[in-house]
Chains A and B, each alone.
Chain A
Amino acid sequence: MARSDVQLMLDVKAGDAQSFELLLQKYRTPLVNFLYRMVRDAAAAEDLAQEVFLRVYRARKKYAPSAKFTTWLFRIATNLALNAIRDGRFRQMEVSIDESTSAGDGGEQPRVDVADKSPGMVEQLMQRDRAAVIHKAIQALPEKQRVAVLLHKYHDLDYDEIARILECSESALKSLLFRAYETLRVQLAPLVARGGDS
């Protein structure tokens, strides 16, 4: 029977390195993606994700499961991301339609030749363009609304978890989410109008 995240972390506390590896495998990609959507810099997102795991590792001896493991993990990630953004460490770069979607390929994806009118290439271009517009709209949200949307939409955290991370009540969180989605609805109206079925 698979161990819960809390049990895995308690095993890490007891010195089990394999349990730490299991948590790393499970949360590495979600964390990097959350941080990428927060800071819009792939390399920085990986650095921040590593910092999150380092802090989990350093705190292992004192770990006491007072909340879900994901609440703790994403709270560390949120604080690190917000601190990095407020420190101005990451320039809010305009995303080009040639932007790579991998943090590690060094941007080696081929540039799209606009003269190439094959349906696949045009579709790829449109998808990249839409993705960039979506990322930009999320980036434009106020910090708390951005965190709320990312944790709710992309990480499926419960309301009480997100409220703990944002240090607000559940009703305040629901209000945040409504305002965030309302803003995105307006910002992404052209994409929504064209149909959101991908």
Chain B
Amino acid sequence: MNCERYETRLVAYMDGRATAAERAAVELHLVACADCRARVEEFRRLWGVLDEAPALEVSPAFDARLRQRIAAEPARGTGLFGWLVAQPRLAIALACLVALAVWISALPPVAQDLANNTTRSEEEFKMIKDLPVLEDLDVLANFEALSEVPATQGKSPRKL
């Protein structure tokens, strides 16, 4: 009889939602299958029994309680984000300031380098200025006084 093929179509057949082709196929099967005919009849009685389950009455306070809960819902636009959304020009200005601050902080430190270089030059100048004369080779090489010392006594200037 191949009843399984028709099982899933029985419910749609019984509640009138089967297509014309499905209805025709099921009816043809029911003519030949006593078991499925009996099942259809039992399903109809079952649906009648299920209708006996009474409906619940909603409590009279339901609507009032729901309205209270809805009234307690936060309004749209509260909080910092909502405040900014409410004032878009301010939000844009703040965003530009933040972007500018980020850009400035990302710039290379040029002024600092100049200041550092100046300090270094001053220090080097001080070092040269205070350098003792005998350590200055340029001075020694051009020192005319050494040329008057006799050769036998004089030694070649010690090379530093």
Residues of A with Cβ closer than 8 Å to B?
24, 28-29, 32-33, 36-37, 42, 45-46, 49-50, 53-54, 57-58, 61, 101-104, 127, 130-131, 134-135, 138, 149, 152-154, 158-159, 171, 174-175, 177-178, 181, 184-185, 188, 191-192, 195-198
Contacts and interface: CB of A to CB of B under 8 A. Distances in A.
B8 A171 contact: yes
Nearest to B7: A178
A54 B69 CA distance: 8
Given A29-B58, A46-B62, A103-B56, A174 B12 contact: yes
Contact of B46 (A37, A53, A188): A188
Contacts of B47: 153, 196
Size category of the binding interface on chain B = 35 or more
B51 interface: yes
B58 A32 contact: yes
B52 A198 contact: yes
Q: Name which of A171, A196, A197 has the most chain B CB atoms within 10 A of its CB.
A: A196
Contact of A57 (B44, B54, B73): B73
Contacts, number: 118
Given A134-B52, A174-B9, A103 B43 contact: no
Given A46-B59, A46-B62, A196-B46, A181 B53 contact: no
Contacts of B48: 196-198
B49 to A, nearest CB: 4
B90 interface: no
Contact of B8 (A42, A138, A174): A174
Q: Name which of A36, A61, A178 has the most chain B CB atoms within 10 A of its CB.
A: A178
Q: Name which of A32, A45, A102, A181 has the most chain B CB atoms within 10 A of its CB.
A: A181
A40 B127 CA distance: 97
Contacts of B17: 158-159
A101 B66 contact: no
Contacts of B160: none
Nearest to B47: A153
Given A153-B50, A197-B48, A54 B66 contact: yes
B63 interface: yes
Contacts of A192: 42, 45-46, 49
Given A134-B52, A192-B42, 8 more contacts: A42-B56, A45-B56, A50-B62, A54-B66, A134-B49, A191-B49, A195-B45, A196-B46
Q: Name which of B10, B12, B50, B62 has the most chain A CB atoms within 10 A of its CB.
A: B50
Given A42-B56, A174-B8, A178-B7, A184 B50 contact: yes
